[in-house]
Amino acid sequence: AALSRTREVDIKGGWKVGESVPYAALAKVFALIEATTKRIEKTSLLTSFLLLVIQRSAKSDTNSLLQTVYLCINRLCPDYVGIELGIGESLLLKAISESTGRSLSVVKNELKKEGDLGLVAMHSKNSQKTLFKPKPLTVPFVFKNLEEIATSAGHASQNKKVSIITKLLAACQGEEAKYIVRSLEGKLRIGNAERTVLVAIAHAAVLAEQERGITPSLAGFTHAERSSASANKRSSKEKLAEKLEKAAEIIKSVYSELPSYDLVIPALLDVGVDRLKERCKLTPGVPLKPMLAKPTKAIGEVLDRFENKKFTCEYKYDGERAQVHKLEDGTIGVFSRNSEDMSKKYPDLMEQLPRCVKETAKSFVFDSEAVAIDKATGKLMPFQELSRRKRKDVKVEDIQVRVCLFAFDLLYLNGESLLQRPFSERRALLKEHFQEVPGEFSFAKASDCETVEEIQAFLEESIKDGCEGLMVKMLETESSYYEPSRRSINWLKVYWHGQPGLNVVDKLVAQVKKDYLAGIGDSLDLVVVGAYYGKGKRTNVYGAFLLACYDADGEEYQTICKIGTGFSEEALQSHYDTLKPLETMKPRGDIKVGGAKPDVWFEPKVVWEVLTADLSLSPVYTAAQGLVDGRGISLRFPRFIRIRDDKSADDATGPEQIAEMYGRQVLAQSKGGKKKGGG
Ligand code: ATP
């Protein structure tokens, strides 16, 4: 059904083999995808559209599929290249007004009513009388213009941007303006998670291969022949379903190792899904999606999970993740957890790095944590020291805080990917090919503990040394392979949840057992989506904030709690200064509000790390609604820990994680024989 609906879209567009993909056809598919909430239907709509793109592209044309895919995920290049869309509301309002001849105040008023700039642009366009039918937009044309907007910088760039947007909008018909404006804003809001797009690419590639074969007609066959053919047909249907599933797994795994559509899509069109893994492997220079850990509530859980298996405990350093790459030609790159190029933030690291690499390591990728250290004493300093640094154009001579790398994994060495080698081997190779340089480069401190007491002692030691807790990792066998982009059960984190900044060692150690057992086991990274004005002395700033988690599948922010205690006057002023420019007139369309009623709303951008005493079901908030109950889940007594400017809003904690935490809390409470929360 999805296929025939997309074909209908296509036929209306009159798009022939060898022609550029009409943007109108893409916009119509976006509208169909937006109109359904069913994930399967979204995937199949996109699959059939991508299939059409493949079938209608000339043989050597890889750009049509590549650019269509980029527009579907609203990006223009791989993450690490760092060209982003995200044009501000005022520029877009100006362009809409200029291209449609409506006054700025009318457009602004409509935005107040609609809360969606895309809809405002579409209505403005459609209410305008035009004498000529504009030349139809194509995907390559739109893509090129978006690229130009995203890359124009400098003095006159604002005017240039408005002028390109105005021209683009002038050529829009039907629903095109809605999606172009949303693309420019940086959010398509059709509920098309990247995972859906990956699955659709895989399915379209398999179906394109399949459709190249010819299905024989059954006319002229005997009854017996027909039924045997139809039995075969059924089994071939099952085979196809299997093939589609396998293809999706292959693409997801290839993409997590080599997250660049620029490389994966041409290879896919060239060799097909089955041989894709041979062609697309971890490559220095292309940051892979990092492996992440699962939280634990108590040390006992570590032993339950790793019973009879070899594991190791490492310090969990409190800094910023740094994936370090060296290419054969000697180029070095440092990438953040989000694949951002960090070389401009860390010129000092770039200068230090060659000293820790032995001559035997010609090309490599290692995983590490960059931690601030005190120049004089060599002591580790908290994450905040690093987060104060600018992200770009940092000059070595201006740097106050020294950075030391703590390396914990080696993923690639001298032309070979090590992802599928046991961790014990990867760790041995790391130690063989790199050397410690005091204050600049160290191997993560590790201890191959075996008992609860040993882990406990090592955890306490890690806190004394200024770390956040421990990472416990599987050491041998397949379970210890590096799993890109996974929050893996083979990496567990054990935290200490005390007051940050407390450093009276005896007090800490005494609190360790009590505190990390009491919390829910992990902190949450939440997006600030709204605020409440303060009272009394605080009327000029926001006094409390509305937080949300992010559902990557549904592409929506779900409200989770109000947080308002524990902020100093200075902190409130500084949050106000950061958040004020993000105020919007209405909650953005992708915020699932529930019963929350803040005084102001924000563009979801700022991420805070937050701790909570526990979780409870809530009729007001929408986080994880439907996952454990018809009600949402809320945080009780949330406590602000720090700003996470190394995370973007899309990296915020997801509803499944919150539901999982709630589940573990309920389980722990029932084991402990007490019952609380639930109200
Ligand atoms: P966090 O908020 O703690 O950074 P996260 O969701 O970003 O959490 P987790 O999977 O919870 O990531 O924890 C892994 C993070 O801990 C890594 O991204 C890395 O930055 C940091 N880290 C510090 N020490 C280690 C270590 N020894 N091994 C792996 N990761 C470490």
pLDDT digits (tens, 9 = 90+) for 254-299: 999 999 999 999 999 999 999 999 999 999 999 999 999 988 877 7
Q: Can you state the angle between helices 194-212 and 39-56, rounded to 10 degrees?
A: 50
Backbone φ and ψ for 362, nearest 5 degrees, come out as -85, -40
Residue type at position 1: A
| Owner of token pair 């690419």 | 201
**What gap in Å lies between CA 419 and CA 484, rounded to an integer?**
8
Q: Which long-range contacts (CB under 8 A, 24 or more apart) does 597-600 make?
A: 598/529, 598/530, 598/531, 598/532, 598/545, 598/546, 598/562, 599/530, 599/531, 599/532, 599/533, 599/542, 600/530, 600/531, 600/533, 600/542
Mutational test site, ligand 1, from 311, 321, 334, 486, max ligand atoms within 8 Å of CB? 321
3-state secondary structure of 674: coil
Question: Does ligand 1 come within 6 angstroms of the Cβ of 427?
Answer: no
Task: State the pLDDT confidence band at 519, using cuts at 50, 70 and 90.
Answer: low
Choosing from 324, 383, 471 the residue with most ligand 1 atoms within 8 A of its CB, the one to mutate for a pocket test is 471
Q: What is the CA(290)–ligand 1 centre distance, in A?
A: 10
pLDDT tens for 534-573 read 887 777 899 999 999 999 877 889 999 999 987 888 899 9
Cα–Cα dist 196/204, whole Å: 12
Provide the β-strand partners of residue 315: 470
Cα-to-centroid distance, 543 and ligand 1 (Å): 31
For the record, the structure tokens of 603 come out as 């563009």
Q: Where are the alpha helices (DSSP H) in 173-222?
A: 176-185, 194-212
* Largest Cα–Cα separation, the chain: 90
What is the CA(61)–ligand 1 centre distance, in A?
A: 41
Compute the distance from residue 527 Cα to the ligand 1 centre, in Å. Answer: 19
Say if ligand 1 is within 6 A of residue 316 CB.
yes
Report DSSP state, residue 653: P
Mutate to test the pocket of ligand 1, among 296, 369, 549 (most ligand atoms within 8 A of CB): 369
317 lines ligand 1 (CB under 6 A): yes
Active site residue 464: no
Report pLDDT for 663: 87
Which of 316, 461, 657 to mutate for ligand 1's pocket (most ligand atoms within 8 Å of CB)?
316
Tens digit of each residue's pLDDT (9 = 90 or more) over 189-209: 887 788 899 999 999 999 998
Residue 407: strand pairing partners = 368, 443
User: Ligand 1 centre and the CA of 466: distance in Å?
Assistant: 15
- Terminal alpha carbon distance of the chain: 44
Are 357 and 433 in contact by the 8 Å Cβ rule? The answer is yes
- pLDDT tens column, 595-645: 999 999 998 999 999 988 789 999 999 999 999 888 999 998 898 888 888
CA distance 661 to 614: 9
Torsion-angle region of residue 424: left (phi > 0), alpha (psi -120 to 50) or beta? alpha
Task: Report which protein residue has its CA nearest ligand 1's atom 11.
Answer: 293
CA–CA distance, 345 with 341 (Å, rounded to integer)? 8
Q: How far apart are CA 309 and CA 296, in angstroms?
A: 17
Mean pLDDT confidence for 503-513? 41
Four-residue CA torsion sign, 597, 600, 603, 609: negative
Contact (CB, 8 A) for 515 and 496: yes
| CA distances in angstroms from 431 to 357, 420, 449, 481, listed in the order given | 10, 18, 20, 18
Exposed e or buried b per residue across 331-348, where buried means at least 16 C-beta atoms within 10 angstroms of its C-beta: ebbbbbbbbbbbeebbbb
Judged by average pLDDT, the poorest of 164-178, 323-337, 564-578, 658-672 is 658-672
Q: Compute CA 306 distance to the chain's CA centroid, rounded to the nearest angstrom.
A: 29
Q: Which atom of ligand 1 is nearest to the CA of 446?
A: 27
| 482 has pLDDT over 90 | yes
Do 197 and 73 touch, CB atoms closer than 8 A?
A: yes
314 lines ligand 1 (CB under 6 A): yes
pLDDT above 50 for 308: yes
Task: Tell me: pLDDT of 508 over 60.
Answer: no
- CA 108 and chain centroid, separation: 31
Q: Which two tokens stand for residue 566?
A: 């524990």
Nearest CA to ligand 1 atom 24: 316
Q: Looking at this protein, which amino acid is placed at residue 432?
A: E
Distance (angstroms) between ligand 1 centre and the Cα of 443 equals: 15
CA distance 380 to 467: 8
> Ligand 1, closest atom to CA 473?
28
pLDDT at 239: 87
Torsion of CA 198, 199, 202, 208, to 10 degrees: -120
Q: Which residue, judged by its Cα, is nearest atom 1 of ligand 1?
A: 523
- What's the whole-number average pLDDT of the chain? 87
This model of the complex carries an ipTM of 0.97
Question: Which residue intervals of 580-673 are DSSP H helices?
Answer: 655-671
Q: Which helix (H) or strand (E) holds 292?
A: strand 292-295
Q: Which is catalytic among the residues 178, 289, 316, 326?
A: 316
Burial of 101 (0-12, 13-18, 19+ CB in 10 A): exposed
Tell me the C-alpha distance between 122 and 175, whole Å: 6
Ligand 1 atom closest to the CA of 337, numbered from 1:
18
Token pair, residue 280, equals 């697309």
Atom index in ligand 1 nearest the CA of residue 319 equals 20
Atom of ligand 1 at shortest distance to CA of 290?
18
Q: Whose CA is nearest to atom 7 of ligand 1?
A: 292
Give 389 Cα–ligand 1 centroid separation in angstroms: 20
d(CA 599, CA 530): 7
